Amino acid sequence: MKFLCVALMLALISCNPEKQWQLHEIIGHLPDLHFSLLSDTGQPVTEQTYQGYLVMLFFGFTNCKAECPTTLFRLANIVRRLGDHANRTRILFVTLDPGHDTPEVLQRYLTAFDAGHAIGLTGNEGAIEDIAKRYRAAFRLKKSDSGDIVHSAAVYVFDPQGHARLLITPADTTETVEDDLRHLLDSFRP
């Protein structure tokens, strides 16, 4: 019965004529924001800490040479373009290399991109695996210093109530992302 409902939901979504988002819409397909990690200031944080903020969540590690700095630079730029809305937005960077990325390392790294809005999150392997699995993001613990770390390219967007709403991909332009985020924030005016 549960599967039938999901199949029906899938059919209804695929025939929805009014698609108002330019980014991938994921509402109803991924669970609400939920985690229990350590922030880059060393404080324990959960999804409650970011209640009321539009959250852009993504997975990476500070030793990443290409994708992570590019994505962070891009997200920081988008947040700046949001103007007044920037204060209602948070970039959550979850490390996939907890052995290396301590809160201090994360803070130093993220300050270079956006000290005000980007927050690094770390924790024990179990907590990181839980959040990665929850959002279907690849995560395997690094075995040696030389080993590559696999990571997802998507940025998951959660609305201020913590519902998964949109997926930002590397192919989306800055303007598209900015438009959709603005639209989402407008629909949640305090």
Cβ at position 148, least distance to another protein in Å: 4
Kindly report the three-state secondary structure assignment for every residue of the chain. CHHHHHHHHHHHHHCCCCCCCCCEECCCCCCCCCCEEEECCCCEEEHHHHCCCEEEEEEECCCCCCHHHHHHHHHHHHHHHCHHHHHHEEEEEEECCCCCCCHHHHHHHHHHHHCCCEEEEECCHHHHHHHHHHCCCCCCCCCCCCCCCCCCCCEEEECCCCCEEEEECCCCCHHHHHHHHHHHHHCCCC
Cβ at position 24, least distance to another protein in Å: 8
- 154: number of Cβ within 10 Å: 20
In the complex with another protein, the residue whose CB is nearer, 13 or 112, is: 13
Cβ at position 68, least distance to another protein in Å: 12
Cβ at position 136, least distance to another protein in Å: 5
The residue from 2, 19, 65, 189 that contacts another protein (CB under 8 A) is: 2
In the complex with another protein, the residue whose CB is nearer, 27 or 115, is: 27
7 binds another protein (CB under 8 A): yes
133 binds another protein (CB under 8 A): yes
64 binds another protein (CB under 8 A): no
140 binds another protein (CB under 8 A): yes
Kindly report the three-state secondary structure assignment for every residue of 178-189. HHHHHHHHHCCC
Interface region with another protein, contact rule CB under 8 A, candidates 10-18, 35-43, 83-91, 182-190? 10-18
Number of residues that bind another protein (CB under 8 A): 29
Interface region with another protein, contact rule CB under 8 A, candidates 21-29, 39-47, 69-77, 113-121? 21-29
Residues numbered 25 to 54 that lie near another protein (CB under 8 A) are: 26, 28-30
Buried-exposed string 97-106: b where 16+ CB fall within 10 A, e elsewhere: bbeebbbebb
Q: Contact residues for another protein (CB under 8 A)?
A: 2-3, 6-7, 10, 13-14, 24, 26, 28-30, 59, 133, 136-140, 148-154, 167, 169, 171
